[in-house]
Amino acid sequence: MGKWSWLVAAALVCTMAQPAKAEDDVERVRKVLRDHPEIVLEAIRQQGPAVLEVIETTARARQKELERVRFAQSLAKPLTPVLEAGRASLGPQNAPVTIVEYSDFLCHFCGQASGTVKTLIENHPEDTRLVFKHFATGKNSIRAALYFEAINLQDPKKAWAFMDGVFARQKDVSEKGDEVLDAIAKEVGADAKKLAEDLKRKDLADRVAADTKEARDFGFEGTPVFLVNGAPVRGAVPIEILEEFVGVAAKAGKAANTP
């Protein structure tokens, strides 16, 4: 047994021999480690990968806990995005949880997140509603957003199919712009003549610009971002994280509506 093992064992023996509060036990071990830091170094040398795994696991758990606390605090002071009629959305209008998504059609992580959040809506068809908004900053990102809004005027289902097509061909859209966007619009069955006319509509351009400004005014810097009943969730988070936060938001909403 190495020197560090003997020292830790001695600390544990002292703990067992002197019953006390849990914090006293921990303090005894800490004292040993403070007095003999070589214990930690030897442990790392002998069990390096295992020690690093413990550190990383602890850090991830700590980060998740911080995110939970931050989300709960945000629910208490929710952001209030503009949700005008005619927006592309999935799920019932009166769902207890509304998810507002700020997305960029040429953002790789937005493509990942799009599938995740749509799966979430499918898993909770009565309890969740998704409203799609734009955080478009590049030329072709803005063009893709305009195409989406114009196609949504024709048929929301075609607009969502167009979204999937753009996310699947981001590189082509980024390089060739309207040429590829026209092709995807044709593939989903959009009326080309009406689309060409609607792409010139000022109100659609204003909507895309207003969405982007709203995202920036909220302090968002990257995409995607989700507002779950007004509480921000940043990044392409795993579905289990969204599931958890949706559950928290639903419970908070029920509690707030209980007399």
Residue 13 predicted with pLDDT over 50: no
Partners of 173 in the β-ladder = none
Tell me the torsion sign for CA atoms 79, 228, 207, 216: positive
For residue 109, the Cα-to-chain-centroid distance in whole angstroms is 10
Per residue in 22-79, pLDDT tens?
A: 566 667 777 777 777 777 667 667 766 665 565 566 555 565 677 788 898 999 999 9
* CA–CA dist 134, 81 (Å, integer): 12
Q: Which of 5, 16, 67 lies closest to 226, judged by CA?
A: 67
Looking at the predicted structure, is the pLDDT value of residue 132 above 60? yes
Given a cut of 50, whether residue 205 has pLDDT beyond it is: yes
Q: Region 151-169: what's the mean pLDDT? A: 97
Residues 6+ apart with CB under 8 A from 247: none
Q: What is the pTM of this model?
A: 0.75
Q: Is the pLDDT score of 158 beyond 50?
A: yes
Q: What is the mean pLDDT of residues 88-99?
A: 94
- Strand 128-134 to 97-103 pairing: parallel
Q: How confident is the model at residue 17 (pLDDT cuts 50, 70, 90)?
A: very low
Q: CB count, 10 Å around CB of 45?
A: 11
Q: Per-residue pLDDT averaged across 131-147, rounded?
A: 97
Check: CB of residue 226 under 8 Å from CB of residue 233: yes
